[in-house]
Amino acid sequence: MGLIESPFLQACAGQIPSRTPVWILRQAGRYLPEYRAVRSKFPDFLAFLRTPEAAAEVTCQPPRLIGVDAAILFSDILTVLPPLGFDLAFKEGEGPRLSNPLRSGDGRTLERFDPVMELGYVMEAVRHCRAALPTDIPLIGFAGAPWTVACYAVDGGGGKEFSKTRAWMHSDPVGFGKILDVLADVTADHLAAQAEAGCQALQIFESWGGIVAPSDYRRVILPAVERLLARLRERTRVPVIFYCNGASTLMGVLDGLDADVWAIDWRMSLSVARTHVGPKPLQGNFDPCLLHAPEETIRKAVQLAHAQAAGGPWIANLGHGIMPDAPVSGLKALVDAVHALPPVVAEVWE
Amino acid sequence: MGLIESPFLQACAGQIPSRTPVWILRQAGRYLPEYRAVRSKFPDFLAFLRTPEAAAEVTCQPPRLIGVDAAILFSDILTVLPPLGFDLAFKEGEGPRLSNPLRSGDGRTLERFDPVMELGYVMEAVRHCRAALPTDIPLIGFAGAPWTVACYAVDGGGGKEFSKTRAWMHSDPVGFGKILDVLADVTADHLAAQAEAGCQALQIFESWGGIVAPSDYRRVILPAVERLLARLRERTRVPVIFYCNGASTLMGVLDGLDADVWAIDWRMSLSVARTHVGPKPLQGNFDPCLLHAPEETIRKAVQLAHAQAAGGPWIANLGHGIMPDAPVSGLKALVDAVHALPPVVAEVWE
């Protein structure tokens, strides 16, 4: 598959895409009846996640059913935790829970592992997807950023404050930074293995980047992100998307990162993001709740975002995961409105 | 009590305070054993809230026990909901729940009410506090901003996504704006009554400001905030503090507001906030989790914030409510570090 066939990969490469590409955070998800039909066959979420055929099936649904320009592997940012010794469970309606969170001073160490051995089901799902997807639909692999994974590893799930993780960061930034370094190495291994197995792009999710002060992020967290990106660049050439939820806080800290695409949430306009990244590719950033609005409102929001993203490639997406109650009709209206946009004129970028 | 005696009120008035004032969001709270002793006498949170003597007792504890420069009335931003016809309950460990949330198209209307009649227990608590507090400790009254109260009125509590409120805002901004207007009027009435009863400053909590895009805030929500402030200015002369959680997103939208003091959360530096508000008073903004750090770390953070706030008055505070597990020793270290700061030299402000 050449770049020329994928508007998404063209945009990732900093080229003018043949049409504006769009995909959706959490697009293989509960809002889709076809997803729920597959999900219902499994007793729990982890069993579902660890069955490559099922993961591949739901991964391939959104390009076929909604018309998005890329598939993202159905998986979870916490898959790396069990091989690191954490006892992970997903309680219905509660999200992830760890029975043995890591705590400051508990003396535990985290050890790098071989993702091909320990996360074989992820690589198997990638191969299934690649075999099943049309050649013009790229597959995106992903992982959580070190800080975001640490939030679960330390707080253990439940709530969105992650106050134990933040308290550790404040009280022992050096010791906490060492935990982040291990997570950076583990994550680089995991992402490189996904690319090796067949993913054509990789997204790093800094889903909880926005809960710390910019100065703390820069001092304690950013070095681990830079380490992750450097390790990853040594191992693979596929484009890397860095997604930050809370980007309005951190954009000034993040915009020097060695990423190919910056993906942002909806609390910052694409035009402000553009002032940070210049002509580099941007991804995002509709409010997921916009999908409840009338089609005409959605169409206008798409046109406004298109104008605000001017100055470089734009990959349309939501600014956060699509919600279980999102109407499929609203999502289709958004995807159709993106595809109906006029082609970008090269001169606008100069 | 004259301004000269209260560094907090001096700062609110834009004057150079005799020392840097400090108070703490949710300072009458569970982290304090003396608070828990009073709280334990009541079967539920609402009964506690509605007992003026008890509310006054916990309100007066932090100035005496911690040495903060102001008291804030022990109350809740949702006290206005029952007089508006909502069935409000606080479930232990779960936060507020409404059994009859307002939904788009349900035909219900919200009616203004007389807070002196319907929220008499609030005014009674204010009078108890004013009688009990030392004359140099001002009492702050407060209320939720229209959007923040609407988040609970529409979503009904539980979670922090408020996706039903956001969906309503997107799908019917005009109809939703009318709800916000009523809440603005109700809130102005409530705040003016608190000032009348004896509060010497008022804080408006936009606790969920940061969950919407700046353009949506400006278009749908800001008019109600302006309406609230205009109504309030007609009724009282006490200084008004506008607190926004998520200020890094919205500061550009908010900095033209007719408020006396801008209070921000910890995800934006005071120096960046200063570029928005110029010489006007700023309040905030330590990460509540900083209180777990060693005293030396806390002291350095205070000195850094003091430097970053230069250019106008600064009221030290956390950027969000103090957490139940915060160590009292950490809080005392913070308050002491603020009071140990050198006096501000007037020339620095020019």
Three-class secondary structure assignment of chain B = CCHHHCHHHHHHCCCCCCCCCECCCCCCCCCCHHHHHHHCCCCCHHHHHCCHHHHHHHHHHHHHHCCCCCEECCCCCCCCCHHHCCCEEEECCCEEEECCCCCCCCCCCCCCCCHHHHCHHHHHHHHHHHHHCCCCCCEEEEEECHHHHHHHHHHCCCCCCCHHHHHHHHHCHHHHHHHHHHHHHHHHHHHHHHHHHCCCEEEEEECCHHHCCHHHHHHHHHHHHHHHHHHHHHHCCCCEEEEECCHHHHHHHHCCCCCCEEEECCCCCHHHHHHHHCCCCEEEEECHHHHHCCHHHHHHHHHHHHHHCCCCCEEEEECCCCCCCCCHHHHHHHHHHHHCCCCCCHHHHC
The answer to which of A188-192, A221-225, A307-311 has the lowest mean pLDDT is: A307-311
Backbone CA torsion sign across B214, B220, B225, B227? positive
Would you give the DSSP letter of residue A322?
P
Bond from prior residue into B100 cis (ω within 30 degrees of 0): no
Cβ-defined contact of A293 to B163 (cutoff 8 Å): no
Q: Which two tokens stand for residue B296?
A: 């030396």
The answer on pLDDT for A129 being more than 60 is yes
Quickly count: other Cβ atoms within 10 Å of residue A33's Cβ: 10
Distance CA A67, CA B296 (A): 56
DSSP symbols for A126-183: HHHHHHHS-TTS-EEEEEE-HHHHHHHHHH-SSSS--HHHHHHHHH-HHHHHHHHHHH
Share of chain B above pLDDT 70, in %: 97
Q: Which two tokens stand for residue B239?
A: 């200084």
C-beta of residue B233 within 8 angstroms of C-beta of residue B196? no
Task: Please state the domain count of chain B.
Answer: 1
Q: Is B121 a catalytic residue?
A: no
The verdict on pTM exceeding 0.90 is yes
The alpha carbon of residue A280 is apart from the nearest alpha carbon of chain B, in Å, by 22
Backbone CA torsion sign across B48, B50, B53, B57? positive
In chain B, the residue whose alpha carbon lies closest to the alpha carbon of A216 is B267
Q: Predicted confidence band at B69 (pLDDT cuts at 50, 70, 90)? A: very high
- Within 8 A of A166 by CB-CB distance, chain B residues are 287, 289
The answer on pLDDT for B237 being more than 60 is yes
Cβ-defined contact of B267 to A169 (cutoff 8 Å): no
Tell me the CA distances in angstroms from B292 to A76, A296, B216, B325, B337, one per residue in order: 31, 50, 36, 9, 15
- Within 8 A of A169 by CB-CB distance, chain B residues are 289
Pairing of strands A201-206, A88-91: unpaired
Q: Rounded mean pLDDT of B206-227?
A: 97
Q: Which two tokens stand for residue B281?
A: 């008073």
In chain B, the residue whose alpha carbon lies closest to the alpha carbon of A215 is B269
Distance CA A185, CA A223 (A): 12
Burial class of residue B110 in the structure, from the number of CB atoms within 10 Å of its CB (0-12 exposed, 13-18 middle, 19+ buried): buried
Pairing of strands B139-144, B201-206: parallel
Distance CA A163, CA A183 (A): 19
Q: Predicted confidence band at B10 (pLDDT cuts at 50, 70, 90)? A: very high
Residues of A annotated catalytic, as ranges:
26, 30, 39, 76, 152
Q: Is A58 helix (H, G, I), strand (E, B) or coil?
A: helix
Tell me the CA distances in angstroms from A217 to A252, A259, A305, B117, one per residue in order: 11, 17, 28, 49
Of B76, B155, B189, B265, the active-site residue reads B76
Range of the domain at B243: 3-349
Cβ-defined contact of A289 to B167 (cutoff 8 Å): yes
C-beta of residue A305 within 8 angstroms of C-beta of residue A317? no
Would you give the DSSP letter of residue A220?
I
CATH number, domain at B307?
Answer: 3.20.20.210
Tell me the CA distances in angstroms from A202 to A139, A140, B160, one per residue in order: 9, 5, 29
Q: Is A29 helix (H, G, I), strand (E, B) or coil?
A: coil
Cβ-defined contact of B163 to A325 (cutoff 8 Å): yes
C-beta of residue B239 within 8 angstroms of C-beta of residue B261? yes
The pLDDT value given to residue B346: 53
C-beta of residue A341 within 8 angstroms of C-beta of residue A299? no
C-beta of residue B78 within 8 angstroms of C-beta of residue B152? yes
The answer on pLDDT for B98 being more than 70 is yes
Cβ-defined contact of A292 to B167 (cutoff 8 Å): yes
- Within 8 A of A171 by CB-CB distance, chain B residues are 292-294, 297
Distance CA B145, CA A243 (A): 31
Of B31, B35, B152, B243, the active-site residue reads B152
C-beta of residue B29 within 8 angstroms of C-beta of residue B324? yes
Distance CA B335, CA B66 (A): 7
Q: How many residues does chain A have?
A: 350
pLDDT tens per residue across span B35-47:
999 999 999 999 9
Distance CA B79, CA B201 (A): 18
Q: Predicted confidence band at A1 (pLDDT cuts at 50, 70, 90)? A: very low
pLDDT tens per residue across span B148-158:
999 999 999 97
Q: Predicted confidence band at B14 (pLDDT cuts at 50, 70, 90)? A: very high
The alpha carbon of residue B266 is apart from the nearest alpha carbon of chain A, in Å, by 6
Between A134 and A5, residue with greater pLDDT: A134
The alpha carbon of residue A160 is apart from the nearest alpha carbon of chain B, in Å, by 9
Distance CA B230, CA B259 (A): 10
Q: Predicted confidence band at A123 (pLDDT cuts at 50, 70, 90)? A: very high
Between A342 and A186, residue with greater pLDDT: A186
Of A215, A267, A292, the CB nearest to B249: A267
Among B305, B293, B301, B300, which residue's Cα sits nearest to residue B329? B293
Token pair 């901003």 is found at B145
Cβ-defined contact of B215 to A246 (cutoff 8 Å): no
Residues of chain A whose beta carbon is less than 8 angstroms from a beta carbon of chain B are 160-161, 163, 166-167, 169-171, 210-216, 246, 248-249, 266-269, 287-290, 292-294, 297, 323, 325
The pLDDT value given to residue A345: 57
Among B301, B308, B232, which residue's Cα sits nearest to residue B277? B308
Q: Predicted confidence band at B344 (pLDDT cuts at 50, 70, 90)? A: low
Distance CA A114, CA B260 (A): 58
The pLDDT value given to residue B314: 97
Q: Predicted confidence band at B1 (pLDDT cuts at 50, 70, 90)? A: very low
Dihedral in degrees, nearest 10, Cα atoms B91, B97, B98, B99: -60
Look over chain B and give the mean of its residue pLDDT values, rounded to a whole number: 95
Chain B interface test: which of A207, A267, A271, A331 (most B C-beta within 10 Å)? A267
pLDDT tens per residue across span A252-294:
999 999 999 999 999 999 999 999 999 999 999 999 999 999 9
Q: Rounded mean pLDDT of A154-182?
A: 95
- Within 8 A of A215 by CB-CB distance, chain B residues are 269
Q: Rounded mean pLDDT of B301-309?
A: 96
The answer on pLDDT for B338 being more than 60 is yes
Provide the β-strand partners of residue B340: none
Q: Is B152 a catalytic residue?
A: yes
Q: Predicted confidence band at A341 (pLDDT cuts at 50, 70, 90)? A: very high
Of B160, B248, B293, the CB nearest to A248: B248
Q: Which two tokens stand for residue A178?
A: 């060492």
pLDDT tens per residue across span A62-121:
999 999 999 999 999 999 999 999 999 998 778 899 999 999 989 899 999 999 999 999
Distance CA A171, CA B302 (A): 15
Angle, vertex CA A18, rays to CA A17 and CA A24, nearest 5: 65
Of B212, B216, B292, the CB nearest to A171: B292
Chain A interface test: which of B267, B320, B325 (most A C-beta within 10 Å)? B267
Q: Which two tokens stand for residue B266?
A: 């910890």
In chain A, the residue whose alpha carbon lies closest to the alpha carbon of B267 is A213
Quickly count: other Cβ atoms within 10 Å of residue A307's Cβ: 12
Of A216, A289, A297, the CB nearest to B166: A289
The alpha carbon of residue B96 is apart from the nearest alpha carbon of chain A, in Å, by 15
Share of chain B above pLDDT 90, in %: 91
In chain A, the residue whose alpha carbon lies closest to the alpha carbon of B215 is A269
Bond from prior residue into A285 cis (ω within 30 degrees of 0): yes
